[in-house]
């Protein structure tokens, strides 16, 4: 039986501390502390209580907690209040809510640095 696409495969709770390299398929939610490297073709959800020191490469990243490190996404990066990102981000689609903290550079291209013509007209969206 196949798992649903949005089903969470693993969950690191708010009292969890983890250090190392995290690779996975599917969706993982982090609400605790993580230090290291995260690589996935899936979705990473960073909860409000999460504190992450890591370079991250994923397909889709949803951030409500704090990340210190560079982030690259193949599909999209969403930063929702009260999210904080201290580092550079790169994705074809970037969404930031009003009230987030972002300190770094934003590059809206496909992973690997190749900008597609259809991406040239995409804008950074600030959602109230």
| Cβ(96)–Cβ(82) below 8 Å | no
Provide the sign of the torsion angle of the four alpha carbons 117, 60, 124, 55, taken in this order. negative
User: What pTM, to 2 d.p., does this model score?
Assistant: 0.80
pLDDT tens-place string over residues 45-56: 999 999 999 999
pLDDT tens-place string over residues 77-109: 999 999 999 999 999 999 999 999 999 999 998
What's CA 3's distance to the chain center, in Å? Answer: 22
Task: Give residue limits of the domains in the chain.
Answer: 8-127
């Amino acid at each position: 039986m196949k798992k649903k696409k949005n089903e969470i495969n693993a969950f690191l709770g708010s009292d969890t501390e983890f250090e190392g390299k995290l690779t996975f398929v599917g969706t993982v939610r982090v609400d605790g502390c993580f230090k290291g490297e995260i690589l996935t073709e899936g979705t990473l959800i960073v909860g409000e209580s999460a504190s992450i020191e890591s370079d991250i490469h994923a397909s889709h990243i949803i951030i409500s907690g704090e990340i210190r490190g560079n982030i690259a996404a193949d599909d999209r990066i969403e930063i929702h209040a009260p999210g904080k990102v201290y580092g550079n981000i790169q994705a074809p689609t970037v969404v930031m809510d009003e009230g987030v903290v972002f300190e770094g550079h934003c590059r809206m291209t496909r992973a690997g640095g190749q900008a597609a013509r259809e991406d040239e007209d995409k804008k950074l969206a600030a959602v109230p």
